[in-house]
Structure 1
């Protein structure tokens, strides 16, 4: 038995016996490859030039950002020019604005129009929430729009915006069309308004008396009424406090009195603050009452 590290050295028997056979086989294989290659038809110089030049043009057009223009150049003679654009679902956005946004993509034919790019361009417009763009060959584009719904007017510092239910700013507010929308005020008010506005639906008459919903400390709400009275609601269970105010007003005409604020934040009592004029009148009445008592005391017989 040979050891595992045994090394076999080539001797003269390889050169003398096996080498001629190996060289003969290699010669036959090379001859066969040459014969096969001779039967293949080499491309002409014109074909090679066309491939090389065409590849260079495609690379140059793509790198230079001219792909759309080149595709439009091919598409227009073939009848793929955009001739008809159908717009559906728009109310606040005019068709002219939609068409201008579509032309901003730079596409003149259906071949170069990228529906994704066109959709993103449309959705960047103020009123458009979602958009879909469909190509209908040979020459038509269909655009379906879902617009934001105006939900409230949000005052942030000294600026006013029309916002949707989620609190997203749509457009700056201008007096006129949206005056009937509820007004919400303060940092974080836009995103939190849906909760209290939905809850106030249960008190329609009282809700009609609210001028603004003021967000305080990102935790609770104050209600600013149209007659100048402020209702301070608690952080927890604010609608129970609203129901209590409505009941007190029904029974005692609370909100018709000369008051400035009703504080409902304390669970065990209601705090009412009078207006400045009411305080002055009350102070005057108390002073007059004190004078009257003093005078009656002097006139009393001994």
Structure 2
């Protein structure tokens, strides 16, 4: 009786194998965090797949568009897409300009509209800015888009500080000496007059020199930069003051001149000019004669030797003439 169960048991149990316990089953694998997140989305897997696919396509299209615009090649698909965006309504239809006082507004419009396309994505803001900075009046410019169709330009203009006369031409300059535009003799503004080659680059030095003696500033008709090394001052009363070379030396000489003028009244007495190129003495010139010099310092000094040439008439402020 027991032989058949034993044979059945041997038939079902191979040599070397352990019998599996009854009642055991394979446990289900735990879902991953990503699977749980996807399962929690309020959309079907098919819809999620479509969204993912179109997101990838859109990202690739954006990269292609950016590369096309940066490369500047009209044949690229990016430019074509940007042009299509412009045709759909995102194009420059209005230009707002702020800050213009002296520069021609039509010139600004011309620089902005000189583009291959008026599609807003294809308008190069930096290119427009660099074009505007080439104009002397423009100190700085900021260009921005105001969607859907407006380009905004804010311009900071230079301020004229003086009139520079060189080789017979009058030119407005800013405080740093940048030439702005020619000006006629009849339309000269009430600004300081600088005369001479390279005088425009010395505008800051001229201003500093006269600001050390503010009481004399209103009496100066013109300032001449002589030989690219020193100043001559022309006064409204007709005299010329020749100052020595060097910034500190010129400031010191001008201070001494103001002190002497305050006690002995040099200006407005018919003198032709005053020579202080030697900071230790002051030579006073009448027409055709040389006056004895007033003392410049407390130290005794010998009487000056008459120069070999004498200025008989002061050069007009508009000629740019002056001794070295």
TM-score tier (shorter):
0.5 to 0.7
Q: Tell me, yes or no, if structure 1 residue 205 matches structure 2 residue 215.
A: yes
What is the number of residues matched between the two proteins? Answer: 220
Q: Hey, what does 1:244 align to over in structure 2?
A: 256
Greater share of residues in helix: 1
Distance in 2 between residues matched to 1:86 and 1:125, nearest whole Å = 19
Q: Hey, what does 1:273 align to over in structure 2?
A: 285
3-state DSSP of counterpart to 1:224 = strand
| Residue 187 (structure 1) aligned to one of 161, 172, 197 | 197
TM-score by length of 2: 0.61
3-state DSSP of counterpart to 1:144 = strand
Distance in 2 between residues matched to 1:72 and 1:262, nearest whole Å = 71
Q: 1:68 to 1:250 in 2, by over 3 A?
A: farther
Cα deviations across residues 231-253 of structure 1 (Å, max 9, x unaligned)?
00111321221122222222222
Q: Tell me, yes or no, if structure 1 residue 174 matches structure 2 residue 179.
A: no
Cα deviations across residues 83-130 of structure 1 (Å, max 9, x unaligned)?
232222222124333222211234422122011111111112231121
Cα deviations across residues 49-83 of structure 1 (Å, max 9, x unaligned)?
xxxxxxxxx9xx96689999967752333111212
TM-score by length of 1: 0.65
The answer to whether the 8 Å contact 1:105/1:118 transfers is no
Q: 1:113 to 1:274 in 2, by over 3 A?
A: same
Deviation at 1:262, TM superposition (A): 0.2
Q: 1:141 to 1:219 in 2, by over 3 A?
A: same
The answer to whether the 8 Å contact 1:105/1:117 transfers is no
The CA RMSD over aligned residues, in Å, is 2.9
Deviation at 1:274, TM superposition (A): 0.8
- Aligned pairs for 1:1-302 (under 5 A) are 73-175=83-185, 178-236=188-246, 237-276=249-288
The answer to whether the 8 Å contact 1:185/1:212 transfers is yes
3-state DSSP of counterpart to 1:132 = strand
Q: 1:273 to 1:74 in 2, by over 3 A?
A: same
3-state DSSP of counterpart to 2:120 = coil
Deviation at 1:278, TM superposition (A): 9.8
Q: 1:178 to 1:204 in 2, by over 3 A?
A: farther
Q: 1:71 to 1:201 in 2, by over 3 A?
A: farther
